[in-house]
Chains A and B, each alone.
Chain A
Amino acid sequence: MKRFFPLFALALLAALPARAETLTVYAYSSFVGKYGPGPAIKTAFEAECACTLDWVALDDGVAILNRLKLEGAGSRADIALGLDMNLVAEARQGGMFAKHGKPAAKLSLPVEWTDDTFLPFDYGHFAVVYDTQKMSAPPKSLKELVDGDPAQKIVIQDPRTSTPGLGLMLWVKAVYGKDAPAAWAKLKPRVLTVTKGWSEAYGLFTKGEAPMVFSYALSPAYHMEMEKSTRYQAASFSEGHYLQVEVAGKLKSAKQDALADKFMAFMLTPGFQGKIPTGNWMYPVSDPGAALPASFDKLVKPAKTLLLPPEQVAANRRAWTDEWLAAMSK
């Protein structure tokens, strides 16, 4: 045990950067990772605030909310960043979040934003992304996806374990309403497999396992910008596309209250928003300070935005998931 202790102490020490005036922000891991917008945002904010911005990387939005619920008032988080809009109702119920004042900038979103607790920081539409080398005629609507050739497979995510998975479930619900189970039953033979999260699904897709994957309308932008490849494209659906809005909120228990307010304001400035398009591959919600990359012009522009109210989602999520389970397990 004696030999074990110094090692342990060393690891602890390494894990504790000690500096005054530190703002702690919980975010999901790909946001703060090397290629996410996190590092650049940290630099930009620290230059303005003369403080330290401490990212805490968690799995995803669900993990952030669960962590906050577990920690209660003792949480060291000042801000939670990266909750999916569908989690907002649930997050509000806990009474953990403080109301924000007025947004510091005008928001440009496909929907009107009225929430007084959470502020959006980016958005994007879900979309079916397909491989142009394997598919010349992608489905033009959700209906075509559901009714199409079962030999042309799609990889989707599980609504029980992932945010995009939930997004697809809600999309089908928004389009089909009470006929959603029948639609799922019809789609089922087209589904190659249902993965735990987006990463696994996208990994299988780029390995060529299926010509389609459930992803984001902005996914092709990554391939066009970074790989100069137009191979992967999003299919435009005539019923409209389901929207994902990612939000942030300040905790009531924030120890750095003033700094947190400062960050919430900073979030809507070009210093933050400018890092979103090619960092998080999402649309900024306010002026990014520079023109969007050229490839963004070639992306699918949904004619219509689909969105179910967060309260309705929170109230029915469990029942809809069971419905999905029943239809997909037959």
Chain B
Amino acid sequence: MTRTWPFLSALLLLLAVGGAFYGLSLEAGGDAEWNEAYYWRAARFTVLQAGLSALLATGLAIPVARALARRGDFMGRDLLLRLFALPLVLPTLAAVLGIVSVFGANGWINRALDAAGMGARVPLYGLTGILVAHVFFNMPLAVRLLLKVWSAVPGETWRLSAQLGMDGNAIFRRIEWPLVRRHAPGVAGLVFLLCATSFTPVLALGGGPAATTLEVAIYQSLRFDFAPDRAAVLAVLQLVLCIAALMAWQALARPMPAAPTSGRGDIRPDRAGTAWRDGAWIALAAMFVAAPLLSLLLDGVGPALLRVLGEAAMWRAMALSTAIAAMTALLSLAISAGLLLGTRHLRRTAPRAAMPFLSLGLVALVVPPFVLGTGWFILLRGTGDPLRFGIAVIVAINALMTLPYVVRALDPALAGTEERYGRLSASLGVDGWHRFRLVDWPALRHPLGLALGLCLALSLGDLGAVALFGGGDTATLPLMLYQRMGSYRIDEAAALALVLAALCLGLFTLSEKIVGGPGDN
């Protein structure tokens, strides 16, 4: 089993991606020409906006994470961290509208500036808008990932720093910064990938076609020019670009520390006198994340919400969305399990191959879901009506999209148990299922709860795969949301966005509580 499972996972992944590309190559495109300057500009803009987004999101996450690490005890900290998981899993359109409510030309900030009689306005559309959206989506993720760095600082270190009389600055320079410098590039790399393939925010807030990314060009090739083969070439270009970024990332990144030690913030010597500064960082970050979410709540609550909640179709869509999300999560976990087992095996036998093997799981992140979908549609039509496979393909594509998060969440924990207990388990003959049950599960269940929650929520918010393979009967919540917007029912769309956000948050919390077990992060 330890051999076949990883093999099957890798095979499935390669087949899924390779098959999609093969399918696309079968369908020769129209007469559309290869506009080199255009693609070159798109590639450049992709790197520019993703690079800036990664720098900003990670750079801002560092002081916020530090403040949160230092204040391990304030009320509402858990709630805040849970809130920080929301931007990533919200349907992008809903999130973009939330951002517009706050930062837009007629948003809260500009209206406050006007009310205060200041001539100045904050412009949103253009590169600024893209960056604001990307920081909104990814800064909270970066904070959550970076917080693990602090939780790995042993309690002895804090006691020692207290004894040596180190102040906040000295602690940052000597203890925190070396850790952050090791781990931040990895976090920034992940953010880069997420932003490189971002789509809706770029188009909605970019201000015009100067803000064209490769993802937009791929979509255009598939949709408007209907040139699947060219879409495949562009997708390969994007893949190469992202793999280059991925390699740079892996060269810079260090594995995240695994098992949290007793490193609680409450014994740090530099807590006194920094409460105001920490409070300011935390409050700013919380407001930045919470304000657009709050606007979703305000826009969503109203008579339209009651109307929407009274609709049987809405509950059916919710049930279908939830079922798809559950199947997605199971499939994603099954594939990840194979990748993780294989990686563990390789760490023992061929350490150099371990990380490249694990990176297979990231591939789907950089292949647009509509590329996967269209490629498979072409392949499946040979078997009759591809819509018969609708839900299966939607689930498969969603599962591929969620793999990076699952792998990223689980690998450090698994690497940790291997490092500590690998030999001991081998010498005692604790292996297979029992190794999982007795050794890995206790360390795994917490990150697993997080991974499962992310899977569920990401799949709930997805539109890409559903839009391609869905038909009359596969009305999911995001699809319904778009439908209402298309019929001028913007109030009901807002209500649906709220329902969707609540469902995301609910499932996320549930899986963190049930699977993740008791205890906090």
Partners in one complex: yes
Please report A residues at the B interface, Cβ cutoff 8 Å: 1, 3-4, 7-8, 10-12, 14-17, 28-30, 32-36, 54-59, 62-63, 65-66, 69-72, 74, 76, 153, 158, 160-161, 188, 191-196, 198-200, 202-204, 206-210, 219, 222-223, 226, 281, 318, 321-322, 324-325, 328-330
B-side contacts of A161, CB under 8 Å = 203, 216, 219-220, 223-224
Given the known interface contacts A74-B384, A195-B204, the answer about A57 and B475 at a Cβ–Cβ threshold of 8 Å is yes
B-side contacts of A59, CB under 8 Å = 467
A-side contacts of B387, CB under 8 Å = 56, 76
Q: How far apart are the CA atoms of A66 and B469 in the complex, in Å?
A: 12
Tell yes or no: B440 within 8 A of A by CB. Answer: no
Tell yes or no: B233 within 8 A of A by CB. Answer: no
Tell yes or no: B331 within 8 A of A by CB. Answer: yes
Tell yes or no: B403 within 8 A of A by CB. Answer: no
Q: Which of A29, A194, A328 contacts B482 (CB 8 A)?
A: A29
Tell yes or no: B409 within 8 A of A by CB. Answer: no
Tell yes or no: B519 within 8 A of A by CB. Answer: no
- Are A191 and B208 interface neighbours, CB within 8 A? yes
Interface centre among B326, B378, B387 (most CB of A within 10 A): B387
A-side contacts of B32, CB under 8 Å = 318
Tell yes or no: B427 within 8 A of A by CB. Answer: no
A-side contacts of B100, CB under 8 Å = 204, 207, 209
- Are B41 and A329 interface neighbours, CB within 8 A? yes
Q: Other than the known A203-B485, A325-B38, what 9 A-B pairs have Cβ atoms closer than 8 Å? A: A4-B331, A34-B313, A70-B374, A76-B387, A158-B209, A161-B220, A209-B105, A321-B224, A322-B35
Q: Which of A35, A63, A192, A195 contacts B105 (CB 8 A)?
A: A192
Minimum CB–CB distance from A190 to chain B (whole Å) comes to 11
- Are B225 and A318 interface neighbours, CB within 8 A? yes
Please report B residues at the A interface, Cβ cutoff 8 Å: 27, 31-33, 35, 38, 41, 93, 96-97, 100-101, 104-106, 125, 129, 199-200, 203-210, 212, 216, 219-220, 222-226, 311, 313, 320, 323-324, 326-327, 330-331, 334, 374, 377-378, 381, 384-387, 390-392, 395, 467, 470-475, 479-480, 482-490, 493
- Are B473 and A35 interface neighbours, CB within 8 A? no
Minimum CB–CB distance from B238 to chain A (whole Å) comes to 17
Minimum CB–CB distance from B130 to chain A (whole Å) comes to 11
Q: Which 6 A-B pairs have the closest CB atoms?
A: A30-B486, A208-B106, A33-B483, A199-B485, A35-B487, A56-B471
Given the known interface contacts A8-B392, A57-B471, A70-B377, the answer about A202 and B490 at a Cβ–Cβ threshold of 8 Å is yes
Minimum CB–CB distance from A204 to chain B (whole Å) comes to 6
17 sample A-B contacts, Cβ–Cβ < 8 Å, listed by A number: A11-B320, A14-B473, A29-B479, A29-B482, A62-B223, A66-B226, A70-B386, A161-B219, A161-B220, A193-B208, A194-B207, A200-B200, A204-B104, A204-B204, A207-B101, A325-B38, A329-B208
Q: Which of B33, B129, B208, B330 contacts A4 (CB 8 A)?
A: B330
Minimum CB–CB distance from B48 to chain A (whole Å) comes to 14
Minimum CB–CB distance from B519 to chain A (whole Å) comes to 27
- Are B224 and A160 interface neighbours, CB within 8 A? yes
Q: How far apart are the CA atoms of A54 and B326 in the complex, in Å?
A: 28
- Are A11 and B377 interface neighbours, CB within 8 A? no
Which residue of B is nearest A204, CB measured? B100
Q: How far apart are the CA atoms of A15 and B470 in the complex, in Å?
A: 10
